[in-house]
Structure 1
């Protein structure tokens, strides 16, 4: 019997794998349903309602300004003026009608071109979490229950066994993530048709969405591999989960607070979520408002720093090579007991 098929079957038969995958899919379905009901298509009726709301806000501001001007004049006559009112009460005037744009009062609508790429970020994050936990459990359970030792009696080639398990895991994640991505696209395309707009979807926009989806898929596979490798390295699922808790809670939050207290410029550049976001969005622009770059007009602009997807790719590659390499080295060197 093929070792790969055996491992793939073992992966799909595990109840934990099924439950975690189902949970991830239910969360994604809840996101789609929530977006559907919180958006609506903009038409003449919505524009008319927005105009009415803008006019109501304008009338309210006119009424408030008149009340304030009268109160100012009464306070000035009584000699009880204070810093609340200006010296000349006539400067208290209502804003002009054109300052109340109807677009401010339009309901939320889903613009596929502007918004769909952003929805791929939670999609990739949820599947990356599922992949990490499933991957760690898949190999961690084998070590903790003694299944790995029994398997190596049948197939004594350690690295072949471990890499075949990883290949089966990545194949399973790919088999779930790709159809889910298609359904994700179909769901938001339907939302855009019924609760928004699909206008301006040029070939460049389609290419950008596809590339963002590919980067999301790569992120899912990378995080799944890291979870698998950490659990194999520690020979227990808790090694991977505990390592993530330590890195995110102690390393990231603690480091973020420390860097902020120390006044380090661009502190976010030292945090992992910044690079994950840059990988998905291609670029994250960090700003340092404690510094000032004066322009010719006298405007003060903060110093900026760009974190690009190329930098994130280097970080992800190094993480995979180091952690997976360490797990393979330990698998080859340590006794199986």
Structure 2
């Protein structure tokens, strides 16, 4: 198994598609870093003071709205007629002096969004790399030649899967390290008012682990679909069809008909959001008031990151089981 893993590891990083993917994500990092560098500016003392005053006033209104929403949601208070509250009383982050500065870049404020972007990039890259890594082997006949040397089909497929996932994990760690370092450098040059403590850095580190695991899951999904279809294009076609027909189609459909999007809990994007953001509300009704009375807001279903991890792991496990079963059946037919 060790010689096989070593050979597959070398093959992964010597492939042209891997090198092109690494160049593309590195180029994306360079462009984003350069773009945020263009917004570099140092707030003056007067601007910081004004932002602080605005934040204090906005925080009072924010706290009042959240308290009223929670009271209406629990049924202890009646909302004014015509008032609608957001799902889960989600008014976003509480206003701060940093958030009231309309220019510049704040890593402390924007790193969750930056890591979400990194997660999308790495997961898509992992899906493509995993699919092409095994798909090309089947379509070119390389898999059959390899099985002449190592006829244990399950071991061969497992070696390729481990090499692909380990390679994407390494790329994710290096990429996230460079990603974080680049934007921290931009933030330091900007000299913004943001300050991150130990708890913030620990949250960032845990999120980075989630991003890396999600990229590995994407790799395994692409690998499994391409292995069952014996071609890279099979995985790419299934992935694109799923995103366009099911994910995007369901969103457009429920936006057109209105009401609660009951398909959210059946979409992988919802569970990915829960995995990255620690929780996600899939179904809820908004509090509303009419002349006859008020209906309190009600959360129908919400998911935690633990539930999201279980769902994503189950999807990956099912597809990988299909890939290995397909591999064994080809051995007996």
TM-score (norm: length of structure 1): 0.75
Bigger radius of gyration among the two: 1
Does the 8 Å contact 2:287/2:294 carry over to 1? no
1:112 maps onto 2:107 in alignment: yes
Q: How does 1:255-270 map to 2 (within 5 A)?
A: 255-261=250-256, 263=258, 265-267=260-262, 268-270=264-266
CA distance in 1, matches of 2:21, 2:145: 26
The alpha carbon displacement at 1:35 in A equals 1.8
| Counterpart among 267, 276, 281 of residue 280 in structure 1 | 276
Q: Compared with structure 1, are the counterparts of its residues 249 and 44 closer, same or farther at alpha carbon in structure 2 (3 Å cutoff)?
A: same
Question: Could you tell me which residue of structure 1 aligns to residue 11 of structure 2?
Answer: 10
The equivalent of 2:317 in structure 1 is: 321
Which structure 2 residues correspond to residues 8-157 of structure 1 after superposition, within 5 A?
Answer: 8-44=9-45, 106-157=101-152
What does residue 170 of structure 1 align with?
Answer: 165
Structure 1 unaligned regions, length at least 5: 51-101
Going from structure 1 to structure 2, the CA distance change for 1:104 and 1:324 (only over 3 Å counts) comes to: closer
Contact 2:40 2:189 in 1 (8 A): no
Q: Which has the higher contact order (CA 8 A, sep 6+)?
A: 2
Q: Describe the SS at the equivalent of 2:303.
A: strand
Q: Which residue of 1 aligns with 2:65?
A: none
Contact 2:109/2:194 (8 A) holds in 1: no
Which of 224, 228, 234 is equivalent to 1:233? 228
Q: Map Cα deviations across residues 22-45 of structure 1 (whole Å, 9 max, x no partner).
A: 112211221222122224232237
The correspondence for 2:201, drawn from 206, 231, 247, is 206
What secondary structure sits across from 2:43 in the alignment?
coil
**Aligned equivalent of 2:82:** none
SS in 2 for 1:334: helix
Partner residue of 1:334? 330
Single out whichever of 234-243 and 116-125 deviates more from structure 2: 116-125
* TM superposition shift of 1:168: 1.1
Q: Specify every segment of 5 or more residues in structure 2 that has no aligned partner in the other structure, as ranges.
A: 52-96
Q: How many pairs were matched up?
A: 283
Deviation at 1:47, TM superposition (A): 5.6
1:110 aligns to what SS in structure 2?
A: coil
Q: Contact conserved, 1:292 with 1:300, CA < 8 A, in 2?
A: yes
In structure 2, relative to structure 1, the CA distance for the partners of 1:272 and 1:201 (3 Å cut) is same
Q: Which residue of 1 aligns with 2:244?
A: 249
SS of 2:287 mapped into structure 1: strand
Distance in 1 between residues matched to 2:190 and 2:246, nearest whole Å:
42
Q: 1:105-142, CA deviations, whole angstroms, 9 ceiling, x for partnerless residues?
A: 84423223222122111111101111110110110000
Indicate conservation of the 8 Å contact 2:123/2:215, yes or no: yes
Deviation at 1:213, TM superposition (A): 0.7
Per-residue deviation at 1:335?
4.5
Residue 90 (structure 1) aligns with: none
